[in-house]
Amino acid sequence: MPRQIVGKGLRLTLRHAPCAHICRYCLISETRKGSALPFARFEQLVHRFYDWKLADHRDDLEIGVFVGPSFDYDLETLRGVARLRARRGGKFQILNLGGLRIRRGEALTAWLEERQSAGIIGFHTSLAGCDETHDRWNGRRGDFAYQTAILRLGGERGMVRHERLFLTQNTLPHFDRLLDILDGIPGEVRNRYVTLFFYAGLAPRYENERITEEIRDALPERIGRLRQGKFVDWRSEREWIPLMMEVADRPRRLILKLDVHEGNIDALEKSSCEEIFAARERLYQDSYRPIPSLAELCTRYGDPESRKVYMMSRDVEGRWLDLHARETGIKPPID
């Protein structure tokens, strides 16, 4: 019996602002190429979904938006993204530095101050080690110095920051130096957390960099206390398996993704939100049909001895789906 799939929301994405990084672990590699669709048409479509959710009292449904792959937006797009965020009751105030083009000197200061005047109060940085280690992971020489220079400029202007620090076998030895550098940058750190790679995008190529239970359990206190936020359950595959099997027969509730681009916008504009959502859900269900149940995947591909650590059970399942694809030629389902 294939797994039952239920859409619990829709995430509309637009590949609008090109990414200037080539991260080796890129989690969203499929959306790095740009789309020619004007932002205004995308925005209109998303507003229609928010109107539908409101009118139909679909409180159970999550409508999300991702305009990427980088946040290197012009000011008009930035205001548009803020309008969409406001529909969810939030404020768009933190700009992600991932994939930003290089700007120097006055051009960089002007860029930063323009965004501050437009309501941006801080920056989010993702760092994989420091210096050359980070630059190598991110595929751009000088990127660590660039991102920390922006954090410094922002801090000096009263801006805050969020820091996501990737922990892998090769970033671990650099953590003390990384934290010393970050602690030396002025400005308020709103949140700082340590994260592992999800098993997604290009990251599965680096399974040998994944930390093990032994490393997790011996993390220095300075790093261990940064395990915060949504994904704090760092478990090895052998620890995840019993938990996954407890809920193996439950339907999977997913946020369905919809990439909006110049090739599908006409059709989307002509369809109702119900039709779009239902069609998307069917597509996901179809893609899961040839996939064995979770319990069967586990029997075939689960490794009850593996001490490699993952942040989500879905990461472990992703590994099994890849092994299944390799063995049978059946592509993993849409994710």
Q: How many residues bind ligand SF4 (CB under 6 A)?
A: 12
Site for ligand SF4 in 96-115 (CB under 6 A): 98-99
DSSP 18-29: ------TT-TTG
User: Would you call 15 helix, strand, or coil by DSSP?
Assistant: strand
Beta carbon nearer to ligand SF4, 164 or 235: 164
Sign of the dihedral defined by the CA atoms of residues 237, 243, 246, 247, in that order: negative
The pair of structure tokens assigned to 125 is 């940085």
* Least spacing, CB of residue 180 vs ligand SF4, in Å: 24
Given the rule CB under 6 A, which of 18-26, 85-93, 239-247, 260-268 is the region that contacts ligand SF4? 18-26
DSSP state of 184: T
Letters for 70-89 (x = contact with ligand SF4 by CB under 6 A, - = none) are x-------------------
Beta carbon nearer to ligand SF4, 66 or 111: 66
User: Should residue 21 be labelled a site residue for ligand SF4 when binding is judged by CB under 6 A?
Assistant: yes
User: Should residue 26 be labelled a site residue for ligand SF4 when binding is judged by CB under 6 A?
Assistant: yes
* Least spacing, CB of residue 127 vs ligand SF4, in Å: 12
Helices assigned H by DSSP within the chain: 39-55, 75-87, 105-117, 131-138, 143-156, 175-183, 213-217, 221-224, 237-246, 265-270, 273-288, 294-301, 313-328
User: Should residue 127 be labelled a site residue for ligand SF4 when binding is judged by CB under 6 A?
Assistant: no
Which residue from 57, 121, 53, 40 is spatially nearest to 87, judged by alpha carbons? 53
User: Should residue 27 be labelled a site residue for ligand SF4 when binding is judged by CB under 6 A?
Assistant: yes
User: Should residue 321 be labelled a site residue for ligand SF4 when binding is judged by CB under 6 A?
Assistant: no
Site for ligand SF4 in 32-71 (CB under 6 A): 32, 69-70
- Cβ(72)–Cβ(290) below 8 Å: no
C-alpha pair distances (Å), 47 with each of 40, 75, 144, 203, 271: 11, 19, 37, 33, 14
Distance CA 219, CA 12 (A): 38
Given the rule CB under 6 A, which of 27-35, 177-185, 216-224, 250-258 is the region that contacts ligand SF4? 27-35
Given the rule CB under 6 A, which of 14-22, 151-159, 171-179, 233-241 is the region that contacts ligand SF4? 14-22
Looking at 5, 12, 23, 241, which residue binds ligand SF4 (CB under 6 A)? Answer: 23
Is residue 271 packed enough to be buried (19+ CB in 10 Å), middle (13-18) or exposed (0-12)? middle
User: Should residue 314 be labelled a site residue for ligand SF4 when binding is judged by CB under 6 A?
Assistant: no
Site for ligand SF4 in 205-264 (CB under 6 A): none
Contacts with ligand SF4, residue ranges (CB under 6 A):
19, 21-23, 26-28, 32, 69-70, 98-99
